[in-house]
Amino acid sequence: MYQSKPYFKLVWFLFILTSSQAQYTVVLKGNIIDSNSRRLFNSNILAFPKSNNNNTRFSISNNDGAYALKLQQGETYSIEVSYLGYEKQVFEHTALKNETKDIVLVPKTNELDEVVLEYKIPIEVKDDTITYQTDAFVNGQERKLREVLKKLPGIEVDREGNVTSQGRKVTKVLVEDKVFFTGNSKLAVNNIPADAVDQVQVLDNYNKIGFLKGLQDSDDLALNIKLKEDKKKFAFGDVEVGGGATDRYIVHPNLFYYSPKTTVNFIGDLNNIGVKSFTLSDYLEFNGGFGKLMGDIRGYLSLSNDGFAQFLGNNDFTANINRFGAFNLRQSFDKKTDINSFVIVNSSDTQTEEQTLNTYNNDNAPFDENRRVTNSLGTFFVLGKFSLEHEPNRDTDLAANTFVKLTNNDNTGTIGTQSPTQDNTFNTVTELDAIDLKQNVEYSKRFSKSQTISIETTLSYQKNTPNTNWVTDQAFLSGLIPLQDADLFDVRQQKRTQTTAFDFLLKDYWVLNNFNHIYTTVGANVLLEDFTTAEEQVLGNGEINDFSNNGFGNDLDYRLSDAFLGLEYKFLTGIFTVKSGLFYHSYQWRNTQEGNRITNATSALLPELNAEAEFNTSQKLRFRYRQQLRFPRANRLMGNFLLNSFNTVLLGNPNLSNERFHSYSLSYYKFSLFRGLNLNAGIFYNKKTQTIKNTTLLAGIDQFVQYTMFNEPENSWSGNFNFSKKMGAIKLGVESRGNYNEFFQLVNDNVSKNISRSLTLTGKVETFFEKAPNLEMGYTYQPSIFTTVSFTNELTNRELFANLSYDFLEDFQLKADFRRVDYQNIAQNTQNTFDLANASLFYQKEDSPWGFEVSSTNLFNTQFKRQNSFSDFLISDQTTFIIPRIVLLKISYKL
């Protein structure tokens, strides 16, 4: 039984308390029309209160010209109605009851007479841009940009700092029309001071090259932050310093300088309270922004699998020291040329501990393994990028980007495993050195209204050298690795992957007219990869047992090239925009190892289709289809054995060919500022008709894995649904995600079909009171079912969450968040409940630069978290230990 009634009662009590403080409103509604009875959409209606006790109210007419203005009962307002090209209408209204009033606007006779704006419209909607005047929404208590954004209609910010607008994720953040650092939203919203912000612009279909907008398909949604006039040539920022018991500390400076020609930003962070300034998601987003124009043949490979990303993946620690610095310099030499550079440096020392219950779904005899893993990680990396942007005229754009990544990581840990066939403990050491260099050049030229070209080239070089050492007093992987008898088994592995790649793309945009476009694409991608591995056992007398004498060790030279030609036709008819394309690819690949060369070639016609129905600017339906071929990397083509972990040996297949995928998606989007409504829904289907599969031989927990081509189709479905509706000061929301996957597992010479199903359903309510505490509270239900021929397991997560924010006594700000998670594993008949909570109280006297804060993380001193995962034959129930309770006293100073 899920025991959470006391928490429900507490949250309900707080909700009633805040609701009782909400002011009663009445509604003035009607239509905005012109003298010809034409309905005017996106008209602005502002209500200025006569007294000083109430705030300005506003509304925007919807696509039918209707408006609804929520007013404080009993207040008298001066109401102003405006629309571009029409005379402004002003009238006085006393809000006594709900009323209906149509407003008629008259066209201006001489627009040149009105050159002075008497006020700024709180929200302005124009084409693909929504502009918010932030002063209309804030009360001066906000500290960072994230708190400003949370008060803007249609914009949401999650706990990590990811921003969504109109239900869609913001992919780029600009400040004064220039990219802020990497463009990552988290760096911006968590660090830019709130009092520097004048406007927030939401730019749909963002493209940094203006004349390519409408030609290149862009799903980018950008935020452009406009600074206040006194901050446009000004140094500003803040410094936060804190300390607590058991030698806890945090130092967090944010320093910014903006001028019309020069921008300098610095963000620093030094702490041992478990705050990670640069995470795996930041890394993936950082890399995803490089060369988006290019259809890279290696784009299907998840960056999360590279060695560097593995060190970033952990966000839960038992101890952590984080040292982070980010420096950004942008310099405009003239109106035509800009340089933009940034350097991110991070060093951390981290302790982690996990306990996992692994259920092996071996059809012959399913069994459990208990595994305990501890790690002590030292991570250091430098990321740098230098960009030159030159725009000699309105029709030409040239950009050159240089990217560098340097990594040095080390990890010392232990692995303890207990199962019916094994009880063993390993000491492990892993070291990773890596370098990644990229040079990218993009050139775009508009020759006429009908002819535009874009050229992009990228040259990249990567070198990774992960080395691993396993030490134990018991023999392991018997029959799979050639161990010699010893009191202590010391096995070492060296790996090196060196990759050079060249990518070229030329695209011609031929605009026949406003309704018909033809695009031609020519390109080539070349990948050169060297992959070497070596394993050995160090014996007690210092001698070496070289595993290469028993089929281990790889030295592989891999070459892959793709030359392609594509033709796309894009047309507009009514509300529909359709782009269909056909791409011819000629692939050649070869791998050379141990004097043997295998050469292959194939060609393919790959179709694409994008279709969009735009019912209006805030309601769209989109369908996409794409067929892709994907080719194996060198680590799957190796002809000798590879020790992959303490319980797994891999053997590649030099004869592997390409995989084939079909991807379909249908998504619907609706947004209404007028109704306070957001709706996003999508369904996605992927079909694999030819895949590379793992064939696994299980002996206890020991695994021997080979790669093979598999031609049975595999299907996966996923869907999402997000809905929110704001009613006065309360917003209701429903979010859901679902996945259904059918896939085959090849284990111990048996081929069986597995099915995994998962659902995440969240309902929440959030308040936006002006003078009362604000709450966000909700409940998440997450069942997962994994089914094989002989086994079914169900896991369920339930989560109750609440977040409180309260500005009181003018100078105080209280924040708190709470999560109760109930985890249940049906097959194992296990259940666990844990609570997580954080709280802070901040004080800053108005007009004082000094601020003081008392904060506590992990308020209940919870020891661990629980989560689960599925794989082909393995269900994992994981317990992750976390940092204990921390109480800090912080002092901040605003420049």
Better pLDDT: 84 or 543: 543
Residue 888 in 3-state DSSP? Answer: strand
| pLDDT tens for each residue of 787-813 | 887 778 888 999 999 999 998 888 899
Tokens of 808: 């009181």
pLDDT over 70 (residue 304): no
Give residue for tokens 């695994």.
703
Which of 348, 177, 215, 327 is closest to 265 using CA atoms?
327
- Measured between alpha carbons, how far is 793 from 781 in angstroms, rounded to an integer? 17
For residues 624-644, average pLDDT: 93
Residue 283 has a pLDDT of 63
Residue 24 has a pLDDT of 63
Contacts of 567 (CB under 8 A, 6+ apart): 518, 519, 520, 521, 581, 582
- What value, to the nearest 5°, has the Cα angle with vertex 869 and ends 864 and 874? 120
Which of 745, 759, 751 is closest to 360 using CA atoms?
745
Q: Helix-strand-coil percent breakdown of the chain, rounded to 5? A: 10, 65, 30
pLDDT over 70 (residue 264): yes
- Measured between alpha carbons, how far is 760 from 752 in angstroms, rounded to an integer? 27
| pLDDT tens for each residue of 752-774 | 888 999 999 999 999 888 778 99
Give Cα 323 to chain centroid, integer Å: 23
Contacts of 790 (CB under 8 A, 6+ apart): 361, 363, 366
Contact 883, 861 (CB under 8 A): no
pLDDT over 90 (residue 6): no
Q: Whole-prediction pTM value?
A: 0.84
Q: How many residues does the chain have?
A: 895
In terms of C-beta density within 10 A (0-12 exposed, 13-18 middle, 19 or more buried), how is residue 178 classed? middle
- Measured between alpha carbons, how far is 707 from 655 in angstroms, rounded to an integer? 10
Contact 444, 397 (CB under 8 A): yes
Residue 17 has a pLDDT of 45
For residues 280-294, average pLDDT: 50
Residue 359 in 3-state DSSP? Answer: strand
Name which of 188-197, 726-735, 802-811 the model is least confident about: 188-197
What are the C-alpha distances in Å from 348 to residues 253, 374, 410, 466? Answer: 18, 16, 11, 19
Element (H, E) at 15: helix 5-21
Contact 474, 418 (CB under 8 A): no
Better pLDDT: 791 or 524: 524
In terms of C-beta density within 10 A (0-12 exposed, 13-18 middle, 19 or more buried), how is residue 16 classed? exposed
Contact 606, 583 (CB under 8 A): yes
For residues 594-609, average pLDDT: 94
Residue 729 corresponds to which amino acid? A
| pLDDT tens for each residue of 815-867 | 999 999 998 888 777 888 999 999 999 999 877 889 999 999 999 999 998 88
Name which of 3-17, 255-269, 508-522, 673-687 the model is least confident about: 3-17
Share above pLDDT 70 across residues of the chain, in percent, rounded to a whole number: 91
pLDDT over 60 (residue 305): no
Q: How confident is the model at residue 651 (pLDDT cuts 50, 70, 90)?
A: very high
Name which of 308-312, 316-320, 449-453, 811-815 the model is least confident about: 308-312
pLDDT over 70 (residue 302): no
Better pLDDT: 261 or 587: 587
Q: How many CA within 13 A on the CB side of residue 264?
A: 7
Residue 280 has a pLDDT of 58
Dihedrals phi, psi of 55, to nearest 5 degrees: -95, 160
Residue 474 has a pLDDT of 94
Q: How confident is the model at residue 440 (pLDDT cuts 50, 70, 90)?
A: very high
* All domains of the chain in start order, with CATH: 24-115 (2.60.40.1120), 120-232 (2.170.130.10)
SS (H, E, C) 388-428: EEEEEECCEEEEEEEEEEEEEEEEEEEEEEEECCEEEEEEE
DSSP state for residue 480 in the 8-state scheme: T
- Measured between alpha carbons, how far is 601 from 586 in angstroms, rounded to an integer? 8
| pLDDT tens for each residue of 682-696 | 999 999 999 999 999
For residues 181-199, average pLDDT: 81
| pLDDT tens for each residue of 377-436 | 999 999 899 999 999 999 999 999 999 999 999 999 999 999 998 899 999 999 999 999
Residue 848 has a pLDDT of 87
- Measured between alpha carbons, how far is 693 from 809 in angstroms, rounded to an integer? 63
Residue 151 has a pLDDT of 82
Residue 311 has a pLDDT of 53
pLDDT over 80 (residue 784): yes
Q: How confident is the model at residue 3 (pLDDT cuts 50, 70, 90)?
A: very low
Element (H, E) at 589: strand 576-593
Dihedrals phi, psi of 871, to nearest 5 degrees: -140, -165
Contact 150, 173 (CB under 8 A): no
For the chain, what is the mean pLDDT?
A: 86
SS (H, E, C) 594-663: CCEEEEEEEEEEEEEEEEEEEEECCEEEEEEEEEEEECCCHHHHCCCEEEEECCEEEECCCCCCCEEEEE
- Measured between alpha carbons, how far is 37 from 89 in angstroms, rounded to an integer? 16
Residue 289 has a pLDDT of 43
- Measured between alpha carbons, how far is 817 from 858 in angstroms, rounded to an integer? 10
Better pLDDT: 301 or 104: 104
pLDDT over 50 (residue 293): no
Strand pairing category for 648-651 and 792-808: unpaired
Would residue 85 be called left, alpha or beta, if left means φ above 0 and alpha means ψ between -120 and 50 degrees? left
Q: How confident is the model at residue 21 (pLDDT cuts 50, 70, 90)?
A: very low
Which of 434, 422, 547 is closest to 484 using CA atoms?
547
- Measured between alpha carbons, how far is 404 from 286 in angstroms, rounded to an integer? 12
Q: How confident is the model at residue 572 (pLDDT cuts 50, 70, 90)?
A: very high
pLDDT over 50 (residue 228): yes
| pLDDT tens for each residue of 212-224 | 888 887 777 889 9
- Measured between alpha carbons, how far is 636 from 693 in angstroms, rounded to an integer? 10
